[in-house]
Each structure stands twice: as structure tokens, then as C-alpha cells.
Structure 1
Amino acid sequence: MRLINVFCALFLIILSSSCAPRRNLVYFSDMVSKTTDSQVITADTEPKIQSNDLLSITINTLSTESNLMFSVNSNNINKNGYFEKEGYRVDKEGNINFPVVGKVNLKGLTIEQAQHNLVSKLNHYVKNPIVNMQFLNFRITVIGEVNNPATFNIPNEQINLLEALGMAGDLTAYGKRENILVIREMDGKRSIVRMNINNRDILNSPYFYLKQNDVIYVEPDKSKSIEYSPNNRLMPLVVATISAVAVLSTAFLSK
């Protein structure tokens, strides 16, 4: 009987060690059910132009000659030997080199502000210019415990954390909802922030609305590392062996 008790104790220890704690998989679970919650958006939702951004800029005027004057083939070969998309690269000082006008500083401006800035400079050369500007490099990367990790190009230049996770196919069951990392590089600094999508307070976080080149990393739960551990792969064999030995011992001792 002592031998049987030992085997049973070992079996219970192994079984308990393989069980992962229960986790909250519900987004914004701190909200009261069946209620309406209205909040003023306080976070900065508009991306700012940064160094190394690539901008598409088109100018339209009443004069065909003026349009040609401000039109330029801006396809360039970058330092890695690859062709860049048509656009204007923002240098480390925040300037673009625009035809006729010369250097124009756009760093830290929204697209709308940058358009007004360029219009004011073009007014010295043409009447009533219309400037259209957009990011060519607005992309975000989602990796980790999501169903479709990838880098996504964002055409409308505005996306929040939940939309990014949705584009990546949502979190897997192993993804930590309470510990999502947002990695952001801005003005020569890298910041890493932990976000908890179980908590509605993230809606007011300055990291809820994403910026160009943000990286979202969803950390896996410990239960996944246990499941994929080489030692844990032998667990079914160990349990089966213990069970067989216990049965044989019982049969032997009962004789």
C-alpha cells in the first residue's frame, strides 16, 4: 500500500504542476455589463512627421507650367541600394528638399499643419496652390501571440491598438491581455510601454493610438512555455508509466 500511495502522490504532483492558472480573456472586463460608457477622446490621435519619414507631396495650381515646375521624379536609390517609393524623405533635421522652394522644415507637424506650412511658402511663387500630402511609410508591426503576425501598411494614417490586433487576427488563447508591449521610437528615443486591454483606462493612454513604425508585442502566457517544454512533452509517457506501475503493483500486492 505504501508503494501505491507513493505513486498516487507523484501522479497528483505532476498533474497539479501541469495546470495553468485561470486567466481573464475578456477585453475591458472592468466595465459594468449592460451600461453605456461615454468618454472624451483626450489622447493625441494625429501622427507627427518625424525624421526619416517618407512623404508623398503633390501640388496643384491653376497653371500647367507651375504644376510641372513643382513636379519632380523623387524615386531615389537609398543607402542600401534599393529604390524608394516616390516621395520626399525627411532628413535628420526634419527638412525636406522641395523643388524651387528649397528646404522646408516639417518635423513635429501633423499632415494638415505641414500642408499649411508648404502652402504659405508656395504663395510666393504661385497663386492659390493646393497641397496634398500623406505618409508613405506609415506601418505598424504586430508580433507574438497573435494569429497573423505581420507588418501592416496603414493607408489612412490613423489606427489604434485594438484595430492593429484585429488586423493581426486577434490574440491567441495564450496571449497575455494584461501585458501587451508597445515599442515606439520618436525623436531619437525608444520607449516601451505595457498595455492592459482588460482595463478600459488604456483608451486614454497616449499609446492607444499608434504612430508610424510602432511595434506591438504580445507576450505568451507561461502555460505555453510549459506546454512546449521538452520535459513536458514526456509528461504523457511519464503519467502512463506511473499508472501502469500502480496497476501492476496493486495486482501484485492483492495476490
Structure 2
Amino acid sequence: MKFRSFFVLPFLLIFLQSCVSNKRLVYLQESEEINKENQASINALSKPYKIQVNDILYIDIKASDPELVAIFKTSEREGAAGVGNDPGTLYFEGYTVDIHGNIRIPILGELNVLGYTAEEIRKMIEKKLLENYLTESTNLFVTVKLAGLNYSVIGEVANPGSNVLYQERVNILEAIANAGDIPITGNREDVLIIRQYPDGKKIHHVDLTDKNLLQSPYFYILPNDMIYIKPLKQKSWGTGTTGFQTFTTVFSIVSIITSTVLLIQNL
């Protein structure tokens, strides 16, 4: 009896600790605590994004006479069909913000756009064109957008790597879904967001299982964000992530040890 207890109890503890509970897998669960800091940041979510270094802008300039603005078309392809959805095309045909926060536009030369919103840049370009190149009668129409929202997901996801989504806003759940979602071995309770700021990079921790995430300033990702999904300890232990896997592993270990002990006793 003592012999059985000596082996059964430790492995029973391993069995209980190695299984991944359902609570650690469900997104946006109700929480008894309300994060007042996150609630106060709801208004911050509505603020438009301000352009940073290495962002790529799509700028389209139209007028009643297409020949007047033909110089601003980066290629025949863009002029005929609009901006492409290929990140490589966007890199070569868009306007990349250099380390000084500038972009170079024909006729206008260098414009500093660092810290401005897309709407502010649009008004800036319109004003300069009307002052130096075109007139009101040309019916100038300028469009300025981010050339896709670029981000990376690494760690415990089905398809790690860089992604580009062509929409104004992307939340962290959408971003992870586009990377193939988090498998059972991924840690949803402590996801890291590595975000670029004017004074450098910062790391933020978010809990995908907490409903308060919806009011978090990190619910929506920003261009060039890196999302890191850490593995659970169960993966490194190798004992299994489901009850059946853990039972199979523990049963095999117990069987081997028991057989070894019985063999030694019979010698």
C-alpha cells in the first residue's frame, strides 16, 4: 500500500498541474475587478493615429485635368487601378517616412509629417499645392492613408510572421486570428505587445481572457506592433495539454517505473 501511494500521489499531482484548464482558454471572460485605468482610456482609443518613422503613406492626388497631376502618379499601374495590395508594391510606390520624419513629393519637395495625422497631412498637401502649383479651379482632391497596417506575431500561434491588413483599425483579437489563432499551448493571460514610441520601444502586457481588454488602450494595435504569445509551462514539461494526453503520459511513466521496480525485486 505504501509502495503504491509513493508513486501514485506524485503522479496525481503532475496530472492535475499539467492539464490546461478551460478558464485559461476562453477569451474575454467576466471579471469581478474593473480596471479604472483602462476605463479612463476609452477616449484615447478614438484618437487618430499619428505618423511615425518608417510608416508608409499612400498619397493620391486628383484634379479635373489629369495631366496637371500626372507627375504625382508613381506608376501607370497605380494611376490606372489604384494602390495595390502587395506589400512590396506599397514599399516602392508609397511614401516612406524617413528617420527625420520627412517624405519627398514631386514639386513640393520634402514635407515633415512626423507626429501628424493622415487628415492633417492631407490638408497640408492641399494647401501647398494650391499656394504653389494649382488653382481652386482645378478641383483638387487629395487622399492620404496609411499603406496598410503592418504588424508581427511571434511565439505560440499557428502562423507566426508579419502581416499587413488593409483597414483603418485592427484589434488584437483580429490580429491574432489572422496569424492562425493561439493553440492550446499558448498563454492567453500574459500577451506581450512591443510598441514603438518616439522615445523608443515599450512592452505592454495584456490578458486576452479578461473582458476589461475591450476598454484597454492596447485593444487596438498600431502599425509596426509586435505581438508575442508565450508558451505555457505545460508545453515545456511535455506531459500533455489535455486530460487524455496527460493520463497517457503519466500512465506510461508509472508502468515503466513499476515494471523496473518489480524486475529489481525479483532478481
TM-score, shorter chain, exceeding 0.5: yes
Aligned residues of 2:113 and 2:121 also touching (Cα < 8 A): yes
Q: Give the number of the structure whose alpha-carbon radius of gyration is greater.
A: 1
Q: How far 1:174 sits from its partner (Å)?
A: 1.9
Are 1:51 and 1:93, in contact at CA under 8 Å, matched by a contact in 2? yes
Partner of 2:27: helix, strand, or coil? coil
Larger deviation, residues 190-199 vs 127-136: 127-136
Distance 1:184 1:228, change over 3 A: farther
TM-superposed CA distance for 1:155, in Å, is: 0.7
Distance, in Å, in 2 between the alignment partners of 1:24 and 1:17 is 18
Identify which of 233, 243, 255 aligns with 2:258.
243
Task: Please give the secondary structure, in 1, of the residue aligned with 2:25.
Answer: coil
2:91 counterpart of 1:94: no
CA contact (8 A) 2:150 2:165 kept: yes
**Greater CA drift, 106-115 or 44-53:** 44-53
Q: CA deviation at 1:108?
A: 1.4
Q: Which structure carries more helix by proportion?
A: 2
Runs of at least 5 residues in structure 1 that lack an aligned partner in the other structure: 33-38, 74-81
Residue 3 (structure 2) aligns with = 6
SS in 2 for 1:164: helix
Q: 1:146 to 1:12 in 2, by over 3 A?
A: same
Q: Is 1:135 matched with 2:146? A: yes
Q: What is the RMSD computed on CA atoms of the aligned residues?
A: 3.3
Structure 2: which 5+ runs fail to align? Answer: 33-39, 76-87, 241-245
Counterpart secondary structure, 2:93: coil
Kept after mapping to 2: 8 A contact 1:7/1:242? no
Map of 1:183 onto structure 2: 194
Aligned length: 234
TM-aligned CA deviation for residue 105 of structure 1: 1.5
Structure 1 segments of 4 or more deviating over 4 A? 232-237, 245-250
Q: Cα distance 1:193–1:104, how it changes in 2: closer, same or farther (>3 A)?
A: same
Aligned letter for 2:215? N
Distance 1:93 1:223 in 2: 46
2:157–2:180 Cα contact (<8 Å) kept: yes
Compute the displacement of 1:132 (Å): 1.6
TM-score normalised by structure 1 residue count: 0.78
Whether 1:167 and 2:173 are equivalent positions in the alignment is: no
Deviation at 1:40, TM superposition (A): 9.7
Partner Cα separation in structure 2 for residue 96 and residue 117 of structure 1: 13
- Equivalences for residues 1-255 of structure 1 within 5 A: 5-6=2-3, 8-20=5-17, 22=21, 23-30=23-30, 41-45=42-46, 46-72=48-74, 84-124=91-131, 125-126=133-134, 127=136, 128-136=139-147, 138-227=149-238, 238-245=253-260
- The 8 Å contact of residues 31 and 212 in structure 2, kept in 1 or not, is answered as no
Q: Is the 8 A contact 2:51 2:116 kept in 1?
A: yes
Letter of the structure 2 residue corresponding to residue 196 of structure 1: D
The SS at the match of 1:215 is strand
- Name the SS of the counterpart of 1:143 in structure 2: strand
| Secondary structure of the structure 2 residue equivalent to 1:113 | helix
C-alpha contact (below 8 Å) 1:43/1:209 kept by paired residues: no
Aligned to 2:176, the other structure's residue is in SS state helix
2:36 corresponds to: none
Q: Which one is further off, 188-197 or 119-128?
A: 119-128
Amino acid of the residue matched to residue 108 of structure 1? G
